[in-house]
Amino acid sequence: MTEVRFYHLTKISLESALPKLLERTLDAGVRAVIVASSEERVRSLDDLLWTYDPASWLPHGTSEDGSATEHPICITNKEENPNNSTYLFLVDGARVAGIEVYDRVFELFDGRDDEAVVEARHRWVKYKEQKGIKLAYWQEDENGKWTKTQLFFHS
C-alpha cells in the first residue's frame, strides 16, 4: 500500500524542509526521486542540496547528469523514476501518474499560498478515492515540529 504524506509548510520553506526529509530518507536506507515543476526548479534544488548545510552532504544528481541509477536521490521534472526509488517527493505542484509503484509519496506544499492549499485539498480528495492509498497529513506546530493530524483535510 502506498502512503501519501501531505506536508503543509506554514513556518518554514520548502528549501528548509526538503533536505531534512531527504536526510531521514537516506538514514532509512531508501532511495528518493524528487519531481519538480520545471527544469529551472530542478537546477535550483540541485544547488540547494549541495549547499543547504556546510556540515552535511546529500548524495544526489539530476536525471540529466547521467548514471541516474547511481544516485540515491534523483531530481527531475519528468514523470520518471530514473534511480528505482521507493520514495517520491512532489514539489511545486508537480504531478505523477502511477504513484502506486512507490511505498511513500511526499506532497510538500506552501500553506501561505492559498492556491497551493486549494490544489492540495483537491489532490487529497483524488487520492482518497483511489484504492490502495493511505493518507497522512503533517503540519508544523507552534514550535516548528511536524505533527500528524487529519483535521485540515477531512472531507
Q: Report which of residues 57 and 90 the model is more confident about.
A: 90
What residues pair up with 136 in beta bridges, in sequence order? Answer: 5
What residues pair up with 143 in beta bridges, in sequence order? Answer: none
pLDDT for the residue 142:
75
pLDDT over threshold 80, residue 104: yes
**H-run or E-run covering 137:** strand 133-140
C-alpha cell at 70: 547511481
21 contacts: CB under 8 Å, gap ≥ 6: 7, 89, 106, 108
Q: What is the rounded average pLDDT of the residues 96-125? A: 95
pLDDT for the residue 56:
86
**For residue 145, what pLDDT band results from cuts at 50, 70 and 90?**
confident
CA distances from 117 to 57, 66, 73, 93, 152 (A): 31, 35, 26, 10, 10
**For residue 111, what pLDDT band results from cuts at 50, 70 and 90?**
very high
User: Using one digit for the tens of pLDDT, what is the confidence trace for 10-38?
Assistant: 999 999 999 999 999 999 999 999 999 99
C-alpha span between 32 and 22 (Å, rounded) = 8
Q: Are strands 133-140 and 146-149 parallel, antiparallel or unpaired?
A: antiparallel
pLDDT over threshold 70, residue 155: no
Q: What are phi and psi of 21, to 5 degrees?
A: -65, -35
Q: What is the pTM of this model?
A: 0.94
User: Using one digit for the tens of pLDDT, what is the confidence trace for 31-53?
Assistant: 999 999 999 999 999 999 999 99
**109: nearest Cα among 130, 151, 137:** 137
C-alpha cell at 57: 552532504
